[in-house]
Amino acid sequence: MADWNDARFQEHHLIGQGAYGEVYRCYATQFDSIVAVKRIQYESKSDGLPSVILREISVLKELDHPNVVRLLDVIEEPNGVKLVFEYLNCDLSKLIIKDVSMKSHLIKNFLFQILLGVSYCHSQKILHRDLKPENLLLDLQTNKIKIADFGHTRTFDTALPEYSIDVTTVHYKAPELLLSTRQSTTAVDIWSVGCIFAEMVMGKRLFPGSVDFIVLRKIIRIFDVPSEEEWKGVTAACLELLSDKTLPPHKYDLTDLVSGLEPEGLNLLSRMLCFLPSERITACEALKHQYFEGLQPSQ
């Protein structure tokens, strides 16, 4: 996919490669600016574009928010399509690796912006379903952060449908998704944001693990499993997933794992990371939390 033959783009450099194509940093004469171009080729002409790409195009054409990445253009080609995005020079995962001891004011700034973007998506009836540091793009000069990669999004209305569960990356996957209960509500995004919040504070993942049962075990070691009155069938669902069919004992407190977090931040984090989806704070509520007192939205 190296051959361009497109005068609209100059100085193109490969910056990423994913399941559906390559991403290039280019100068776009049309916009007189640096852009990111995702090039996707058809697997076969009869199949057309993958559903995740069609979904991303459809969603991003409708969204308009400072904390959501902008899709500038869609260019159809004989063998595929170019998606032209605004260019941001980093993502949150790279910054966490580079700056393990991230300053508290920067964490607060980033979290507020993430919640602004998530709150907007939810107000537009959009579940992102794959929030993770790699999908949060950054401008290192302005510290602006934007949500990207909308290929796994779903729309919802007052009657939330049951969606497929194998979407969210395992480290950021809410308990209800790990347990295959198919409860895709806005709460699944809030759990992911809570995991990202903790990761910024800790400099590492809160729930490391390569498969669902390992992550669930780590969650249960911090949070108590709800009672059957609160969540019918939850114990059986946990035992079904865990390899040794026993619930691990409570071992850690969230306070111990994020020891550098101020009390107000710990309170907000604990309200995001509730085992019961119905008990999690909403994005709109989180933006009004005391943790953000004194923070200006433009900071």
Give binding residues for ATP as ranges. 38
How far apart are the C-alpha atoms of 242 and 45, rounded to whole Å?
Answer: 43
Quote the tokens at residue 22.
């390559």
Phi-psi region of 124 (alpha: psi -120 to 50; beta: other; left: phi over 0): alpha
Q: How many CB atoms lie within 10 A of CB 47?
A: 8
What is the CA 244 to chain-centroid distance, rounded?
A: 30
Catalytic residues: 130
**Coil/strand/helix, residue 20:** coil
Selection from 195, 98, 202, 189 nearest residue 147 by Cα: 189
DSSP string covering 121-133 = HHHTTEE-----G
Residues annotated within the binding site are 38
How far apart are the C-alpha atoms of 276 and 231, rounded to whole Å?
Answer: 8
